[in-house]
Amino acid sequence: MFSFVSFLSFVVKRFGFKLVARSCFSAMKVDLLTIFPDFFRGPLDFGILRRAREAGLVEVSLHDLRDFTRDKHRTVDDRPFGGGEGMVLKPEPIFECMDTLGVAPRAERLSGSARQSVILLSAQGRKLDQALAQELATLDRLVLICGRYEGVDERVSDYLADREVSIGDYVLSGGELGAAVIVDTVVRLIPGAVGNQDSTRQESFTAHAELERDGPSSTCVSGGLLDYPHYTRPAEFRGMPVPEVLVNGNHDEIRRWRRRTALEKTLRNRPDLLDPAALSEDDRKLLAQIQGR
Ligand code: SAM
């Protein structure tokens, strides 16, 4: 009998317990603290993010930090103690906004007993990668604090946020773009957000644990490598044909070609991702062929 229990265990095996547990019972809540709430109108209103919001998989709330100021100019910044260039985002509006959100205490977030995270966007933070996105996608609530000016009063990082996240080794003018990147990356991992959830498991940077779940025959999943090249119709365009192997219908050959091209692309663009110890025997042989050894 294919009962509800076996269905549930299939789904849990497929998507992971934490992801399924959260998405089965409630929408992920995302709070964005910013001085430019209108910035998010575009990023949140298209494609997968819009559909995920409409489907009730994620609930995004925007909080204008100027609403938490007390002076008539709605001041959110001030000069840095000790002198120096630029202005610093003041702590009061951020703390006061947080007071209204009912987020779990920092200690509970840090210990993992609360499935929530308060993230300060910062060039000095841990760099966002797919593993971190997968971790964040298992939580019930994300609060993202967008900095501006020279940065945010450090007490926000020390006493309020439980982590600082950077989206790359460059300096943005504000945290809003970074927050939009995090929301996009995380929400598409929530089961149901992407039409075919399998596609998120065959993408660049997909962790090895995901690969194991697919079994050894699934050689087209990324397993931490970059994705393989994709083609669509027409089969020939302006004298540029798609690789013959993709149109001949031999699935074993297609899988092998995809694995080989994923290895080639990773070697060319991101050799730092190639960990020989984590590669299968087949991968190592393919890599040796590619390198002409
Ligand atoms: N003085 C800071 C420094 O050198 O690290 C840069 C401040 S930046 C001009 C203003 C805000 O943009 C930061 O407080 C942060 O919220 C955001 N930001 C800048 N670069 C970022 C990055 N790479 N990732 C995430 N947020 C970033």
DSSP string, 235-283: SEETTEEPPGGGTS--HHHHHHHHHHHHHHHHHHH-GGG--GGGS-HHH
Which of 1-5, 109-113, 164-168 comes out lowest in average pLDDT?
Answer: 1-5
pLDDT at 219 over 60: no
Q: Determine the average pLDDT of the residues in 203-218.
A: 57
CA-wise closest residue to 65 among 95, 101, 103: 95
For ligand 1, is residue 240 a contact (CB within 6 Å)? no
pLDDT at 117 over 80: yes
Number of H helices, E strands in the chain: 12, 9
CA distance 278 to 263: 13
CA of 123 to the centre of ligand 1 (A): 4
pLDDT at 58 over 90: yes
Q: CB-based contacts of 104: which residues, under 8 Å, 6+ apart?
A: 114, 116
Identify the top-confidence range among 10-19, 85-94, 207-216. Answer: 85-94
CA distance 87 to 152: 9
Residue type, 215: G
* Tokens, residue 66: 């100027």
CA 269 to each of CA 98, 132, 264, 273: distance values in angstroms, whole numbers, following the listed order: 41, 22, 9, 9
Structure-model confidence comparison of residues 217 and 274, the more confident one? 274
- Ligand 1 atom 1: the closest Cα is on which residue? 150
**Helix (H), strand (E) at residue 59:** strand 58-64
Q: Determine the average pLDDT of the residues in 1-12.
A: 49
Report pLDDT for 19.
Answer: 57
For ligand 1, is residue 177 a contact (CB within 6 Å)? no
Q: List, for residues 59-77, the tens digit of each pLDDT value.
A: 999 999 999 999 999 999 9
pLDDT band at 195 (very low <50, low <70, confident <90, very high): confident
Bridge partners of 16, per DSSP, are none
CA distance 149 to 87: 6
Classified as helix, coil or strand, 54 is helix
For ligand 1, is residue 124 a contact (CB within 6 Å)? yes
Q: In a mutational test of the pocket of ligand 1, which residue from 33, 65, 122, 166 has the highest number of ligand atoms less than 8 Å from its CB?
A: 122
What are the structural domains of the chain? 9-187 (3.40.1280.10), 202-290 (1.10.1270.20)
